[in-house]
Amino acid sequence: MRLDLITIVVDDYDRAIEFFTDALGFDLVEDSPSRTNDGRPKRWVVVRPPGAQTGVLLARADGRRQSAAVGDQVAGRVGFFLRVDDFDAAYTRMTAAGVEFATSPRTEPYGRVAVFLDIAGNRWDLLGP
C-alpha cells in the first residue's frame, strides 16, 4: 500500500506548474486533457519531487466552494512537508526563485525547518537534516 497522490486546489494550472517545477524543482509527471463529470474541459496535472513516489495533483478550482479553499486547504496550518537532503541549498534556491517564506530557518530536535507558502498560499514546512 502507498499514498499515490494528494490534491492541491489552485487558481490556474500553468502558474501552479511553473511554481512547482521552477521554484520547487518538482518534475511535471503528467499534464493531460480531461473532463469534469458534466463534460466541461479540465486537465489532469501531476507534479512530484524528484525520486518521490507520492505526487501532487494540481486541480483548478471549480466553483465558489473550491475557489474559497484555494490557499486555505488545511485551515491555516502547515499541511505539507517537503524534506530535502541539503536544507541550506534548497532554501537558497527557493528564495532566489521568489518563494515566500513565512518564517526564518530554525533548528528543531527533528532538523532544520522553515515555513513557506506555495503558489496558492498553503503553508509548507521545508525540512532538512
Domains identified in the chain and CATH numbers: 5-128 (3.10.180.10)
- pTM, two decimal places: 0.93
Strands ordered across the beta sheet of 27-35: 5-10, 55-60, 41-48, 27-35
Q: What is the largest CA-CA distance in the chain?
A: 50
pLDDT, tens only, 50-98: 999 999 999 999 999 999 999 999 999 999 999 999 999 999 999 999 9
